[in-house]
Structure 1
Amino acid sequence: MNWDVVLWGILPYVMVAILVGGLVWRYRYDQFGWTTRSSQLYESRLLRIGSPLFHFGILVVIVGHVIGLVIPKAWTEAVGVSEEMYHVVALGLGSVAGIATLVGVGILVYRRRTTGPVFAATTKNDKTMYVVLVAAILAGLSTTLISVFGPHEEVTYRDTVSPWFRSLFWFQPDIASMAEASFAFKLHTLIGMALFIIWPFTRLVHAFTAPVQYLFRPYIVYRSRDGRPVPTSSGRRGWAPIGTPDRERDRGRRRGRSDAGSTTRR
């Protein structure tokens, strides 16, 4: 069996099928479970430190991966960014973001293990997710350290992993390019695919949620106690503030029905 074909030509599409299918299934049959299951009520001190470190760090890491994998080397060189300059910036930002992400997830794992109610709410699914997530972060940082302190290689991930990644979108995977990548980049890629395979079935699914409906929800109505007149509104029912003619008319009708009911019972 040609393992290069299996790992770099078949497995990526299996991963995408499980990711998309899992998200659809989770949305249709487990919408109430589509959440992070927040535990802030039990402990907030460590959460206030670890959560921003992890989330902001992982955002920078994701942006760096997108730039490194999607944008070809010829494009950056065309705008005057040399390969040396690119690697200095990428390694600098990547190292800072990676360390911040690792420290953040370390604090979150420590919090989850040492806080009784939080640990009690931790499932086997959560434990598996944390193991794979930490492994992916460590593998990414190891590739950065190897790039800085390891033996200099003429062939980098921009010559191997990036062309392979872009070729997947055209359904013509460049297996030969990925086969030339170093073991560290291959391991990082495999762990990353494993993370995306389990993604729809873990609390990480909340990353695909955007509160779009929040922009269109009705206003929250507060009752005024100072006696000031409330401005009228021509909006549809349900949006009119308390005190407008529509609201007062509906309130009078409800009060009339209530009084009639009280008289009948008497």
Structure 2
Amino acid sequence: MNMSEQFLWVIFPYMCIVVFIVGHIFRYRTDQFSWTAKSSEFIEKKQLMLGSLLFHLGVIPVILGHVAGLGIPKTWMNSLGVSEHLYHMGAVYGGGFFGVVTLAGMFLLTSRRFTIRSVRRLSTASDLIVNVLLLFIVFMGLYATLFTNFARPEFDYRETISIWFRGLFMLRPDPALMRDVPVSFKIHALTGFAIFAFWPFTRLVHVWSVPLNYVGRSYILYRRHKSS
């Protein structure tokens, strides 16, 4: 094991996780008023609605697929009756489809932020960086799914990346597992951790502020004022 492997696959992921946790705590305690996503809907609505719809429809299944692929051991899947072929079909074709949907949505949102002058003026540097980084992460994930998997059919990320990933959270990381992983998967993993380090300092924090209390909240009644 060389120093670069130790940094990329042990030190860097832990740094990103620590920044993610500490950054959220610090921002919440010191700057709660910025804990939101500034809306630019009043400037441009059509592209925002379509891009946001496509992104959220795609990213939720993609996240669930990552949880299953990285968090659930291969042997557990086999014991549940999910064969290697069935899992591969779901990961490549299902993941590929939702990856395309996510990429299309993210492309529309990023294009909107950069090409519409009034939206760009409202954006901060962190907004622009996050949009580009998310677009790149989704692209690399889709490339790894649709192209690298076909170019390297013998590669099984559940025997390398998944074990390395779970080892991080069990405090037993093994960077050697990432040594022969294709470059596209490596870039996707590293940029994925990088977005977690950026997260607390961007508008992404609004993810944790889903207004679930609205579901059970009483209706607000509006009555017309009767002038005398």
SS of the residue 2:25 aligns to: helix
SS of the residue 1:158 aligns to: helix
For the aligned residue pairs, the C-alpha RMSD in angstroms reads 2.0
Distance (Å, rounded) in 1 between the aligned partners of 2:216 and 2:32: 20
Q: Which residue of 2 aligns with 1:238?
A: none
Asked whether 1:150 is paired with 2:154, we answer no
TM-score (norm 1): 0.78
TM-score (norm 2): 0.90
Deviation at 1:198, TM superposition (A): 0.6
Equivalent pair of 2:113/2:128 in contact (CA under 8 Å): no
Equivalent pair of 2:148/2:182 in contact (CA under 8 Å): no
Deviation at 1:180, TM superposition (A): 3.3
Equivalent pair of 2:148/2:184 in contact (CA under 8 Å): no
Q: Give 5+ residue unaligned stretches, structure 2.
A: none
Distance (Å, rounded) in 2 between the aligned partners of 1:85 and 1:178: 25
How many residue pairs match? The answer is 225
Equivalent pair of 1:156/1:181 in contact (CA under 8 Å): no
Q: Deviation digits for residues 162-209 of structure 1, max 9, x if unmatched?
A: 011111121111222222322221111111111111111111111122
Deviation at 1:210, TM superposition (A): 2.7
Structure 1 stretches of 4+ with a deviation exceeding 3 A read 212-219, 221-226
SS of the residue 1:84 aligns to: helix
SS of the residue 2:33 aligns to: helix
Q: Which residue of 1 aligns with 2:99?
A: 98
Identity %: 43
Give the aligned residue type for 1:170: M
Q: Give 5+ residue unaligned stretches, structure 1.
A: 227-266
Equivalent pair of 2:13/2:193 in contact (CA under 8 Å): yes
Higher-helix-fraction structure:
2
Distance (Å, rounded) in 1 between the aligned partners of 2:151 and 2:23: 39
Asked whether 1:173 is paired with 2:173, we answer yes
Give the aligned residue type for 2:196: F
User: Structure with the greater relative contact order (CA < 8 A, sep ≥ 6): 1 or 2?
Assistant: 2
Q: Deviation digits for residues 66-85 of structure 1, max 9, x if unmatched?
A: 00001111111112221111
Q: Which residue of 1 aligns with 2:119?
A: 118
Deviation at 1:116, TM superposition (A): 2.9
Deviation at 1:148, TM superposition (A): 4.1
Deviation at 1:118, TM superposition (A): 1.1
Asked whether 1:164 is paired with 2:164, we answer yes
Asked whether 1:183 is paired with 2:162, we answer no
